[in-house]
Amino acid sequence: DSDGEAEMEEEPLCHLPLTPTEGSETDSDSMKDFIAEEEEDDNANTEDEKSENQPQQKELNTSYSELLAHYVPHCKIKISDDSIYGTRRKKYAQDMLLSLHYLDDRFIQPRLENLISRSRWKDRYKERVDCYPYVRIILKNPENISCEACELNRYCKFNVLLSGKLYNSRTLEADDFMSDDKQVLKVGMVCANRTRVYHNLKHFKYKLYVDCSSITKLDGVGDEPVKDTVERLFNQLDNSGWIRKRYNDLEDYMNDADIFQEEK
């Protein structure tokens, strides 16, 4: 498979930021642990006017970065003690789910919708990209054929290889009853690039969850209280630069989505 083939640089696994969460056992405090609060000051209106043309960047530097700081603890608590989510006995767990979905709804989903609205992708192709958590985009020998993403006649020289088990985008649980399927689709250059940008954002949460799951399982967790495990592992990742690296990667993914060009 070596003649005339090359693989586009594959983006790293999903990724994130700064300080660990200080847990609270009370319902009144739990929301503070997992939902970033908006700061109020006398200059609020002035700041809003200054940032009117850059609302996404302002959010990224404030509530977004704080929210991301709670994402890894969410993953680790979910992995360490699944019963928290199964029974929903603690409002604490519901607050974490709320912060997790807020991340998606406020920052990721609007960018995904924008990428789709500016493309000519067919629903069938989008559904496939949505379903499979892993992608490889491989440069192949070019063919003048119908692109399998937009179904327009294109100079297609990329194979999009989609793979992995389907998973629930809200719970992040993989569907173990489905086989580890693969699909290969021939696309043009613009659709290949859009696929990379879209896929990085679409499956960000799941890949981060998989990363955290691997780290937690390697650690062993043991009989240590869940909150202690979360804080200890988070501090280790933060001090090693793991958190910052993933936060930077996510910033790159969002920037790629914001500047992606219209379909020609």
What pLDDT, in 10s, does the model give residues 245-258? 888 888 899 999 99
Which burial class, exposed, middle or buried, applies to 52 when counting CB atoms under 10 A from its CB (0-12, 13-18, 19+)?
Answer: exposed
Within 8 A by CB and 6+ apart from 2, the residues are none
Residues 40 and 113 in one domain: yes
3 φ, ψ (degrees, to nearest 5): -75, 115
| Residue 153 covered by a domain | yes
Within 8 A by CB and 6+ apart from 43, the residues are none
**What's the pLDDT score for residue 135?**
97
Residues 101 and 125 in one domain: no
pLDDT at 243 over 90: no
Q: Mean pLDDT of all residues in the chain?
A: 71
**Mean pLDDT to the nearest integer, 86-112:** 68
Residues 208 and 245 in one domain: yes
Distance CA 120, CA 116 (A): 8
Pair type for strands 181-187 and 134-146:
unpaired
Residues 43 and 78 in one domain: yes
Task: Quote the radius of gyration of the chain (alpha carbons, Å).
Answer: 20
Which burial class, exposed, middle or buried, applies to 93 when counting CB atoms under 10 A from its CB (0-12, 13-18, 19+)?
Answer: buried
Residues 75 and 195 in one domain: no
Q: Around 63, how many Cα atoms within 13 Å sit in the side-chain half-sphere?
A: 17
Distance CA 39, CA 166 (A): 39
Which two structure tokens, joined as six digits, stand for 57? 């960047």
| Residue 175 covered by a domain | yes
Q: Which range has the top average pLDDT, 33-42, 55-64, 69-78, 100-109?
A: 100-109
| Residue 22 covered by a domain | no
| Residue 106 covered by a domain | yes
Structural domains of the chain, count: 2
Residue that finishes a domain, picked among 200, 218, 247: 200
Residue whose structure tokens are 């693969």: 182
Distance CA 178, CA 199 (A): 21
Residues 86 and 98 in one domain: yes
Spacing of C-alpha 195 from chain mean position: 14
Residue that finishes a domain, picked among 169, 200, 231: 200
Residues 114 and 245 in one domain: yes
C-alpha distances out from residue 137 to 156, 161, 211, 238, Å: 12, 6, 22, 31
pLDDT at 34 over 50: no
Residues 191 and 232 in one domain: no
Distance CA 199, CA 201 (A): 5
Instruction: pLDDT band for 10, please (50, 70, 90 cuts).
Output: very low
Residues 49 and 84 in one domain: yes
Residues 244 and 191 in one domain: no
Residues 115 and 131 in one domain: no
Give pLDDT tens digits for 107-131.
899 999 999 999 999 999 999 999 9
**What's the pLDDT score for residue 139?**
96
Within 8 A by CB and 6+ apart from 230, the residues are 20, 21, 23, 73, 76, 77, 80
Residues 32 and 86 in one domain: yes
Residue that finishes a domain, picked among 181, 200, 219: 200
| Residue 16 covered by a domain | no
| Residue 20 covered by a domain | no
| Residue 170 covered by a domain | yes
Residues facing residue 153 across a β-bridge: 146
| Residue 62 covered by a domain | yes
pLDDT at 57 over 80: no
Q: Which domain covers residue 179, as residue numbers?
A: 6-10+121-200
DSSP SS3 for 120:
coil
